[in-house]
Chains A and B, each alone.
Chain A
Amino acid sequence: MTTLAAIINISLCSLINRRLTVFLTVFAIALSVMLLLGVEKVRQDAKLSFANTISGTDLIVGARSGSIQLLLYSVFRIGNATNNISWRSYQAVAARKDVKWTIPISLGDSHRGFRVMGTSETYFKHYSYGQSRQLKFRNGKPFEDVFETVLGAEVARNLGYSIGDKIVIAHGLGTAGFAKHDDKPFTVSGILEHTGTPVDRTVHVSVEGITAIHVDWKDGSRVPGMSMDAEAVRKMDLTPRSITAFMVGLNSRLSAFRVLREINNFRREPLLAILPGVALQELWGLMGTAEAALGAVAILVVAGGLLGMLTMMLASLNERRREMAILRAIGARPLHIGAMFLIEALFIAALGCLLGLVLLYSAMVILQPVVETQLGLFIPIDMPQLREWLILGLVLVSGALASIIPALLAYRRSLADGMTVRI
């Protein structure tokens, strides 16, 4: 065994001898590493998840408000629209020669906490996510009848629905919708494949279906004395008067800015058209400060963990002077003594990183389904990426740098004490 191996062996035995304080230090570093990596992972995966939610859509059009607000409620089902847009305006834009396809979006109702979206069959044909991936049916088919619905994967899994089941839509949002359209239940005609996007948490019906359930409603409540059953409603003209927003696919992307400008200058009604990618960038810009603050807190927590290690090593320095003197007597150089402290710090930091990774992945396994259900955010459990390895490397290097102080002190003390210590 070489001298270095002996020094490593002594360092490890010394750590084992002080296992309680060492474990607490390792645990403090592990928690801080878990937090740092967790923040980084959520930050990256949230961005990826958001960016993957929509692809191939050139424009999103809604009532005039803010571009981020329009993006959030139309694509991510976060927040609400300030106003609707008329069906006539929608049709006017849809009829343009440069428009290839449109997807109407009608929001405002819910089913047991999941948002209901009124749309058309073009949604299943043209909406794409991730790398131009189209929606696929796990079971069944798109809605054909007014009172048919297509469920996102998470809705079906969470509520245990299958094809043919009947569901009742509640008026308004929230888990406890008191006003229910229970006289006009919808039959599940299809269940979509899991996408890892808000689509999974959406109940899809036709825009005609949305009109149908509101025929005998006004201002958020049923019109007294006016009740129409589903069959009677089915025979009516169910063309909606207004929708919340719509997505647009263009024949040529080159025309995007021109169409955008023209829609924004639409005379009949104040409309807002946005480019999803640009709005997403605005969103990141808005979140940048919060991200930086969160990152800074995580870095400070890691610094706190490493400071704990430094404190532990400095506190042990005095009680280890005899140990250092013995090692000097048998031929250890002051450099060896300093190296012992460096090795101990590296070992503690490495164990902290390793335990931090284990804690992070354990937390991810436990929390992934909860986060997906509650926040609609899909955090994939995959191997740490280069950036995460770099962070771990930085923690190790910081640990080594922090140990320079006790290592230098140990070096100097062992030079001064020599082989004998009088304590």
Chain B
Amino acid sequence: MIELSDVRFRWHRDAPLVLDIPAFEVRAGERVFLEGPSGSGKTTLLNILGGVTVPETGHVTVNDVRLGDLSGAGRDRFRADHIGFVFQMFNLIPYLSPMDNVILPCRFSQRRKAAAQQRSESVKNEARRLLRHMNLDAHKVAARPASAFSTGQQQRIAVARALIGAPPLVIADEPTSALDHAVRATFMDLMFEEVTTTDAALLFVSHDSRLATRFDRQVTLADINGATA
């Protein structure tokens, strides 16, 4: 699903390398826990995987597509079609309802819209199903803006949004760091359940190594990134 070879990145020519990854791979359906302290280049790596940032050298292949071969607009389209993101916090557009937030990726991706329709007849039905699955009553949450919900609820809505239209890759950037222990466990259960259902690959970035046991594989960024060695 993800294949990095000889990827190097620095912010400008005279700056030190931020990333120097000779090889890194995530297989289809695999759940990988990527660990690394703050400032180790995690966010930069996610931007490269999403096609927002272009590496100085090397190749990034996602779902058998080499991102370097795509134009800027092509990478944006590819990201919309194939990758679902969940961030640490502030995942939602505050003035849209949870339902509108969840269906947002389908506005930018015909592929995900078609997949959502195929699964639940309509995009809205699929959004309701995902929200229900995240223990949120779609009817109850419909009238309020996303900003009216607790952090835990917002993170669950963000997972529903990342998963709508069954993208083959889900990238989660420290999604549990703002959650307390009890909510975190429920959140992880629900996310795993849905990722398993869609058979999506999951790249879970965190510095909380206690969560690592639930994953197929644990990778420490420092081990694959020569720049931090």
Contacts and interface: CB of A to CB of B under 8 A. Distances in A.
Contact of B161 (A14, A328, A330, A420): A330
B95 A331 contact: no
Given A328-B52, A329-B50, A332-B76, A420 B94 contact: no
Q: SS class of chain A's interface: helix, strand, loop or mixed?
A: helix
B108 interface: yes
Given A326-B90, A328-B52, 5 more contacts: A14-B95, A323-B94, A330-B80, A331-B77, A333-B76
Nearest to B50: A419
B173 interface: yes
B47 A331 contact: no
B91 A419 contact: no
Contact of A1 (B50, B72, B94, B107): B107
Nearest to B42: A420
10 contacts: A6-B104, A10-B96, A13-B93, A17-B94, A326-B91, A328-B52, A330-B80, A330-B85, A333-B76, A420-B47
Contacts of B107: 1, 3, 5-6, 9
B105 to A, nearest CB: 5
A48 interface: no
A418 interface: yes
Interface residues of B, number: 31
Nearest to A5: B107
A418 B104 contact: no
Interface string A336-370: 00000000000000000000000000000000000
Contacts of B93: 10, 13, 323, 326-327
Contact of A331 (B46, B53, B80, B145): B80
A322 B90 contact: yes
In this complex, which of B43, B46, B52, B161 has the most chain A Cβ atoms within 10 angstroms of its Cβ?
A: B52
Contacts of A1: 107
Ranked nearest first, the 6 interchain pairs of A and B with the lowest CB-CB distance are A331-B80, A6-B107, A17-B95, A331-B108, A418-B52, A329-B85
A16 interface: yes
B92 interface: yes
Interface in A286-342: 322-323, 326-333, 335
Contacts of B85: 329-330, 419
A123 B145 CA distance: 73
Interface of B: 43, 46-47, 50, 52-53, 72-73, 76-77, 79-81, 85, 87, 90-96, 100, 104-105, 107-109, 145, 161, 173
B76 A420 contact: no
A334 to B, nearest CB: 8
Interface string A254-273: 00000000000000000000
Contacts of A418: 47, 50, 52-53
Given A418-B47, A418-B53, A13 B76 contact: no
A274 B170 CA distance: 88
A331 B76 contact: yes
B87 A331 contact: no
Interface in A1-29: 1, 3, 5-6, 9-10, 13-14, 16-17
A286 B81 CA distance: 68
B191 to A, nearest CB: 17
Contacts of A3: 107-108
Nearest to A420: B43
Given A330-B104, A333-B72, A333-B73, A420 B46 contact: yes
A423 to B, nearest CB: 9
A330 B173 contact: no
Nearest to A422: B43
Interface in A200-242: none
Contacts of B100: 13
Contact of A419 (B47, B96, B105, B161): B47
Contacts of A323: 93-94
Contacts of A335: 73
Interface string A385-423: 000000000000000000000000000000000111000
A413 to B, nearest CB: 13
Interface centre among B90, B100, B107 (most CB of A within 10 A): B107
A419 B52 contact: yes
B96 A331 contact: no
Contacts of A13: 93, 95-96, 100
